[in-house]
Amino acid sequence: MDYRLINIHIFGNNHAVVENQFNILHDLPHVSLKRTVDSNFTGALDKQSAGSDIIILNLSEHALLELKSLENTDTAGKSLVVIGDKSNVNLLSVAISVGVTEFIDQRSYQDNLFKIINKIIFNRTEAYRGSKKRKLNAIVNAKGGSGGSVIASNIAYVLSTFKDSKVALLDMDLQFGTLGLNFDLAPKYTIVDVFNSISDIDVVSLEAYMVNYSDRLKLLLPSSNDIILPGEIPSTAIKALLSMLQRNYNQIVIDLPRIIDPLTTTIVEQADNVAIVVQQTLAQFRDSKRLIQILNKDLDIPLDKIVIIINRYDPKNSLKKSDLVEMVNHQNVFTIANDFEKVSSASNLGEPFCKTSPNSKIAEDLKRLAMFLGEEHETPKKNSIVNRLKGLFV
Ligand SMILES: Nc1ncnc2c1ncn2[C@@H]1O[C@H](COP(=O)(O)OP(=O)(O)O)[C@@H](O)[C@H]1O
Ligand SMILES: [Mg+2]
């Protein structure tokens, strides 16, 4: 099963039209559809479209203002589809300047809407599937108990449901790690065994040290019987392990303890993303600011590789995501809902909650995060005018 859920949000001021479009798109697979009917939908556009992959705007007689409102909307990574009067050249040129992906004429949307949205979804999904790049994501908690291990486990599980993926999940909390319990798995050979015999191990024999959750998800786990001191493992051993893993797996997820030693330093240096898990308290928000500084200033990790995850996020809490963004001056922030019941019942079953409650809010949040971490993130090339025009006139 492919977990790549696409979020589509339709905005407009005509109830019947929006309803009709909703019905046209209703049966697309792996799609989550929302609609907002409001005579002044531009006011709340930025807030309401957050989390959408595709925004569909039905332009009214205030079309120009509505298009301009896209300038104040966070549209990064989103596909913008506008339905309006395509014979109005002025509207078309404004549409191009605000980055609209497709302009559909209002008179013919019934024939074109499904086809165009289907094409956008196909392109977005293929872009992901076609990526051959190996990704290494390190998950660090700002404090024990923040949820680092549960989140790393679920990210690895979600990534393993993507087509053609092979995922390795490593628990680097060599002394106290219990990540295996999230899958009801215990190691036969441990990660410390791997380090002890690293010079004798090759890509084939490494597989014998991994614990199978499924064909696509394998774990490398520590054991509380291993006595190992922080700093004891040389960075050459971890480099050798990572390079062997990268030959066998296209997604590597590492649950890291918050210790700065040669082992963790080598991993964060090699990672494509370093995700810091915090809870929604002022103290942890401050901690994350310090961690970002250590990673960026002391370890030279570029800021765009650093992701903050606010776990157990409660939107009613007076401390908001925007407060964190402001405090740490960092935009790459995700939230994961608080759901004691789903998390603890999954934990009792020894399964990831994304498997036991795939449609819950917490699983949706997690999937969005996993999709971000699992994809390639090259700086988007500025779309040329010619390409944008091509998009507008299909
Ligand atoms: N979003 C959440 N909602 C509810 N409970 C959670 C959530 N995230 C984590 N937990 C619970 O918090 C506890 C600590 O999680 P864990 O992943 O072990 O933290 P860490 O690895 O950061 O020490 C676990 O009992 C876990 O089930
Ligand atoms: Mg942990």
* Residue of the CA atom closest to atom 10 of ligand 1: 147
CA–centroid distance, residue 276 to ligand 1 (Å): 14
Cβ 26 vs Cβ 3: under 8 Å: no
Alpha-carbon span 16 to 29, nearest angstrom: 23
Atom index in ligand 1 nearest the CA of residue 347 equals 27
365/342 Cα distance (integer angstroms): 13
Question: Within its chain, how far is the Cα of 381 from the centroid?
Answer: 20
Task: Give the distance between the most distant pair of CA atoms in the chain.
Answer: 73
345 lines ligand 1 (CB under 6 A): no
Per-residue confidence (pLDDT) for residue 127, from 0 to 100: 54
Q: How far apart are the first and last CA of the chain?
A: 31
Residue 351 and residue 153: Cα distance in Å, rounded? 9
The structure's pTM equals 0.67
Confirm or reject: Cβ of 352 under 6 Å from ligand 1.
no
**pLDDT at site 132:** 55
Cβ(339) to ligand 1 under 6 A?
A: yes
Cα separation of 96 and 87, whole Å? Answer: 14
- Structural domains in the chain, CATH included, are 6-128+380-392 (3.40.50.2300), 132-374 (3.40.50.300)
Distance CA 265, CA 271 (A): 10
What is the per-residue pLDDT across 62-111, written as a single tens digit (0 to 9) for each? Answer: 999 999 989 888 888 899 999 999 999 999 999 999 999 999 999 999 88
Q: What is the pLDDT of residue 126?
A: 58
Quick one: pLDDT at residue 2?
A: 39
pLDDT recorded at residue 118: 81
- 149 CB less than 6 Å from ligand 1? yes
Whole-number Å distance, alpha carbon 145 to ligand 1 midpoint, is: 6
The verdict on the CB of residue 180 being under 6 Å from ligand 1 is: no
- What residues have CB less than 8 Å from 275, skipping those under 6 apart? 137, 138, 139, 140, 151, 306, 307, 308, 309, 369, 373
Select from 203, 185, 183 the least CA-distant residue to 194: 203
> Element (H or E) spanning 220, and its range?
strand 217-220
Residue 40 has a pLDDT of: 86
Residue 385: the pLDDT is 53
Do 314 and 280 touch, CB atoms closer than 8 A?
yes
Starting from the CA of residue 312, give the closest ligand.
1
Q: Which ligand is the nearest neighbour of the Cα of 345?
A: 1
Cβ(145) – ligand 1 distance below 6 Å: yes
Q: Which of 291, 220, 305 minimizes the C-alpha distance to 254? A: 220
What's the pLDDT score for residue 394?
Answer: 39
* Residue among 255, 256, 180, 181 at smallest CA distance from 218: 180
What parts of the chain have a pLDDT lower than 50? 1-3, 130-131, 377-382, 390-391, 393-394
